A and B are shown apart, each in its own frame.
Chain A
Amino acid sequence: MPVTDVQHDLDALTLTITADFAAPVERVWEVYADPRQLERVWGPPSHPATFVDHELAPGERTTYYLTTPEGDHYYAYWDIQTVDGPDGFTFRDGFALDETFTPNPEMPESQQAYSFVPTDGGTRATYVSSYATAEALQTVLAMGVVEGASSALNQIDDLLASRAA
């Protein structure tokens, strides 16, 4: 398994995952720079991703959508902040209202920082994802983007809504 470390910071609502890839940093970078390669790895098989606009440069907005098993689309964007190819980049990840990719102000953004460092055997990648609130994290999971779309959390929202009623 390429995943070598996982840190959950419950207070900062941050997930940090470290992975060692048997590929040089330039090759890892290429996956993120090339939307066609990125969509091969980004969405879970149940929710494939399609990147519409994608240029890794500060100030650019990447636009993409996930297609659900029912054929619905979840529109989302990345607001690229810093780019230091091939060593890493940072961005804010948020949900859009519709196919115009206008950010949905009611949906939370998350802060993402990816970095790639050369090792003897290839690349050590570190992915840091931070959420502002527990609700923000919950929203991301409730969108069904968890592997296999079988998030337990996903299933209980209706239940809780009906209880609260």
Chain B
Amino acid sequence: MNEPTTREREDQADAWFHALADRTRRDILRRVLAGEHSVSTLARSYDMSFAAVQKHVAVLERSGLLTKRRQGREALASGDVEAVRSVGVMLTELEALWRGRISRMDELFASDTGTDTDTQTSTDTTTSTQKD
């Protein structure tokens, strides 16, 4: 098998991130990791249309975290345990943690320049007045 290029790896990471960034998709993934489910059974578990659930399943399938097979008229979905435990997916989950930290820092800096200086009478705007 050929080694994936950096570009292919990045595309894969993007697909995982997109797949895991949605609460419903994470929930679907948890269910199908526990065992095979038909898409219609999954659809009944959510307060949304069959088509909407089908769309979420398709995103997970494209990311490689979920596989589908047909049995008669039913589409059966199962989670790919190996893929979910792969280093790439784990780094993607870690990335989500970091994005959260970074956005909290961004908010902290934004609040510095805001108007939360109610108890501050000094006109010095260059130093932080935060105290423990």
Binding site for B on A (CB under 8 A): 1-3, 6, 8, 10, 13, 15, 17, 19, 21-23, 27-28, 30-31, 34, 36-37, 40-42, 44, 125, 127, 129, 134, 137-138, 140-141, 145-148, 150-153, 155-156, 159-160
Binding site for A on B (CB under 8 A): 9-10, 13, 20, 23, 26, 29-30, 33-34, 65, 79, 81, 84-85, 87-106, 108-110, 112, 128, 130, 132
Q: Which of A3, A6, A137 contacts B90 (CB 8 A)?
A: A137
A152 to B103, CA, bound (A): 22
Q: List 5 A-B pairs, Cβ < 8 Å.
A: A3-B99, A28-B109, A30-B128, A37-B130, A138-B85
Q: Which of B85, B97, B110 contacts A153 (CB 8 A)?
A: B85
Q: Are B89 and A27 in contact (CB under 8 A)?
A: no
A-B contacts besides A27-B112, A37-B130, A127-B98, 11 pairs, CB < 8 Å: A2-B102, A2-B105, A8-B91, A10-B91, A17-B98, A31-B108, A40-B108, A41-B101, A42-B101, A146-B96, A153-B93
